[in-house]
Amino acid sequence: MRAVSKRNISQLLLGTGLSCIAAAWGAEPSAAPGVADCDKPVYLTFDTGHMGVASLISEVLERNNIRATFFIANEPTRTGGMSLDETWAPWWKKMAEQGHVFASHTFDHVYWLADLPENQFKVRPASGSDAGRVQTWSAQQYCDELARVDVRFEQMTGRKTLPLFRAPGGKTSPDLIQAGASCGYAHVGWSPAGFLGDELSSAQYPNAALLERALKNIRTGDILMAHLGIWSRQDPWAPAVLEPLVSGLKQKGFCFATLDQHPDYREWVKKYARSASVQPVVGVQENFAGDSQVSVGDSLEMLATELEKETEAETQAALETEGTLQNEVEPQPDITLLDISTEKNKQHE
């Protein structure tokens, strides 16, 4: 294997058509009608979850004729099964046939915890036989975990996944991203405004507030992130927010595209589309969307700051109007990182 620089990668990737990718996946190109003519794309993505709202989400997507990108892991479902078991295989197959695209979220929803010497990582699976156990993995073990999703998805649907992955919780390091790139996977996070908040407490962050924030802040090119069901949220985010969010963004002139069309990923996807085997790539050390992508922890912190500033501004304006200025504003509740794996374990004890 020879090292490939960032510049050389860009040169190598040029010239491969989308039709070649479609043939490799066994599917037609996934662009929804009109996307090619739209100059304000956003990229709607979903991570797996308890699957309780999966069918509702697919109905919204079909009704609005839009395509999404799904990052899939084998997670516990509300019905006692797993999100990639035979019960859900027909649903995944139908989604693939409708033109949605798919990528790895690690098979056992494995959280990166820390880098270790000799290109190893401290990780904790949230599902599977080792759920909850902190382990030490090599880069190759992490690559094997990413590939387990590809194998299972092809078994269920006969289709290939994209050469992309999203680390659970958005938790990564440069070394982890390099590990994924070494076996042909580019990492995908989400944009700050694209954190749609479906894993937050519905008591503190009701659906109406999350919808208002999203419609106010989402910009062209943003990667949006939600889930196919969150255990801890009492008032489900989907379809209550999803449908008006889609409608509202369309009214603003936005269109919806899949990540194989994203400018930071499309050349990578063309070059490393899944075939019989994936050729390793050496020397790539970049998170392809750069600083525009954030983790769950970062998203929660930014959301807390944003909401606190908005609340303070609104309160100050109201007090000035009434002529009753006060020196203090009631602080917003602290937001701590919601460890979804912990919530799942509690639900299944």
Flag whether pLDDT at 30 surpasses 80: no
Distance CA 234, CA 239 (A): 14
Residue 324 — very low, low, confident or very high, per pLDDT cuts 50/70/90? very low
Number of other residues whose CB lies within 10 A of the CB of residue 313: 11
pLDDT of residue 294: 62
pLDDT reported for residue 298: 64
2: enclosing H helix or E strand: none
pLDDT higher than 70, residue 312? no
Q: Which of 36-45, 99-108, 311-320 has the lowest mean pLDDT?
A: 311-320
What is the pLDDT confidence band of residue 37, given thresholds at 50, 70 and 90?
A: low
The percentage of residues in the chain with a pLDDT greater than 70, rounded to a whole number, is 68
Tell me the domains of the chain and their CATH numbers.
6-295 (3.20.20.370)
258 and 101 Cβ atoms separated by less than 8 Å: yes
Whether the Cβ atoms of residue 246 and residue 224 lie closer than 8 Å to each other: no
User: Tokens representing 145?
Assistant: 């975990």
Put simply, whether the predicted model's pTM sits higher than 0.85 gets the answer no
Q: Mean pLDDT lowest for which of 68-82, 275-289, 299-313? A: 275-289
In the predicted model, what is the mean pLDDT of the chain? 78
> What share of the chain in percent tops pLDDT 90?
64
Residues 124 and 251: their CA atoms lie apart, in Å, by 42
Q: Tell me the mean pLDDT in the region 67-96.
A: 97
Could you read off the pLDDT of 227-284 as tens digits, one per residue? 999 998 888 899 999 999 999 999 999 999 999 999 999 999 999 987 644 444 444 4
Looking at residue 27, what is its pLDDT?
40
CA distance 159 to 153: 7
- For 121-166, write each residue's pLDDT tens digit: 999 999 999 999 999 999 999 999 999 999 999 999 999 999 999 9
Nearest one of 216, 222, 215 to 244, comparing CA atoms: 215
CA angle at 253 for the pair 44 and 262, rounded to the nearest 5°: 40
Token pair, residue 53, equals 């709202």
Measure the CA–CA gap between 149 and 106, rounded to whole angstroms.
7
In what side-by-side order are the strands of the sheet with 120-125?
110-116, 120-125, 135-138
Average pLDDT over residues 222-227: 96
Give exposure, 265-294, as e/b (b: 16+ Cβ within 10 Å): bbbbbbbbbbeeebeebeebeebbbeebbb
User: What pLDDT shows up at residue 148?
Assistant: 98
Residue 194, token pair as written in the block: 């694209």
